[in-house]
Amino acid sequence: MGRLFGTDGVRGIANRDLTPELAFQLGRAGAHTLVRKKGKAAGQGRLLVGRDTRVSGGMLEAALVAGITSTGVQAELLGVVPTPGVAYLVRKLKADAGVMISASHNPVADNGIKFFDAQGYKLHDELEAEIESYLNGERSKEIQRPVGLEVGRVLDRTTDKEEYVKHLATTIGRRFAGATVVLDCAFGATYRMAPQVFTELGAKVVTLHAEDDGSRINVRCGSTDPSALQEEVVRQGAQIGFAYDGDGDRVIAVDEKGEVVDGDQILGICGFQLLADGRLPHKTIAVTVYSNLGLIEAFQAAGGRVVVTENGDRQVLSAMLERGLVLGGEQSGHIIFLEHNSTGDGILTSLQLMEAFLQADQPVSELKKKIRKFPQILQNVPVARKEEWVHNRRINEVIDRYRQQLGEKGRIFVRASGTEPLIRVMAEGPDEQEIRRIVGAIAGVIAEELE
């Protein structure tokens, strides 16, 4: 069996790949590794559990909680809450760990389980590997099964979610009176909290897809499809719109003209403001190799510095912690404001962007012009054997040939998705027609070799 944990926890089609049996085992192994092995006696450890709105969420929550409590660890249920809410509340409520049941932006049928440590950080690879080592074989017998009063209890902590809402409101220094905002909540975990916090800050809020309906989570809505949001922002004459993903850890914005503002542009606008205010440590932000070259050039031209990491929010966070940075993120809209939360936070990011453009006293459409984006084409190639591409001679030959052709005027990145059976092919350069041709050629070879 290959490694169970991917780039963002354990994911798969619920009840087929991610079964209740597996969720139970993950609950036991996670509670043992993150709580009991840390020295907490049976009946004393605490693990927070959150979920998004997916239909399978309740089923997996029940199995996961059974596994947690079977080790003598207390399971404290937050109910439907954004992923960054779990990360924040672990620290706020002084729990030993947290776990979120969600597949983020993935389709309805998928679900996932990811753990947070006591500081609200996603687990590093070694700790995930340790949890995985307890799932089967002799090591699974090391996990205790206390009885009587030492069995873990289940507590309802849904009202404590308000602490997260209060925290979000404290991260900015102004109110939004007079502003109209459209929020697309993707039928997901932000459906209640995002409208609540914007309303409490004085904005006129128009909502789309803001219902607890896991049967439609991410379906033609949210950050993966902001087309409805684009139309509504223009129709309402709103200053801005925000589209969240299913678990609320990322956001895509729409400016007052109905044009998309992606994560690179959000990062740039917020970074420029922090830089101007003298609130950006080392004058530096962290981005990934997939961030647009235009962002890097623009930020450097403004007197800032850019650290480029490998793909993934954990890589960005690692660079931020290592260098003492407070701002970093991905083009997908997964932005980390480390002063305020330990992971990407869609609602938090939308509040920060809102404050940035109001403080600049310019519309978002003008602010984003500071970032001249290079044409960047990304194609997802469905494959049957995504792990094999690295060692495939023909695939690597075609990638090398086009890299040499582009030279220093552009770049090509190819990687396997950590959560889906896809190979992602991205190319960037000054000539869009040439870039499209290159991506199409590489994708075609990958499809032929790995079908």
Round to whole Å and give the CA distance between 252 and 225.
10
pLDDT tens digits for range 163-189: 999 999 999 999 999 999 999 999 999
> For residue 389, how many other CB atoms are within 10 A of its CB?
21
Please tell me which residue in 56, 70, 102, 104 is annotated as part of the active site. Answer: 104
> Angle CA(153)–CA(160)–CA(37) in degrees, nearest 5?
45
* 365 in catalytic set: no
Alpha-carbon distances, residue 37 vs 40, 48, 93 (angstroms): 7, 17, 20
> pLDDT value at position 1?
46
pLDDT tens digits for range 7-32: 889 999 999 999 999 999 999 999 99
**Cα four-point dihedral sign 63, 66, 68, 74:** positive
Q: 171-370 has which fold?
A: Alpha-D-Glucose-1,6-Bisphosphate; Chain A, domain 3 (3.40.120)
> What is the architecture of the domain spanning 10-159?
3-Layer(aba) Sandwich (3.40)
pTM over 0.85: yes
Residue 158 has pLDDT above 60, yes or no: yes
Round to whole Å and give the CA distance between 283 and 323.
11
What string of DSSP letters covers 274-302?
HHHTT-SGGGEEEEETTS-HHHHHHHHHT
> pLDDT value at position 7?
80
> pLDDT value at position 42?
84
Residue with tokens 């962290």: 286
- What pairing do the DSSP bridges indicate for beta strands 260-261 and 251-254? antiparallel
State the average pLDDT for the chain: 95
Packing angle, helices 263-276 and 346-360, rounded to 10: 50
Half-sphere exposure of 381 (CA within 13 A, CB side): 28
Query: Per the CATH hierarchy, to which homologous superfamily does domain 376-450 belong?
Result: Alpha-D-phosphohexomutase, C-terminal domain (3.30.310.50)
Decide whether 10-159 matches 171-370 in CATH topology.
Answer: yes
Residue 408 pLDDT level (bands cut at 50, 70, 90): confident
Packing angle, helices 193-200 and 161-169, rounded to 10: 40
The tokens describing 30, both together, are 């996670």
Alpha-carbon distances, residue 266 vs 331, 398, 444 (angstroms): 9, 34, 33
Break the chain into its structural domains and give their ranges: 10-159, 171-370, 376-450
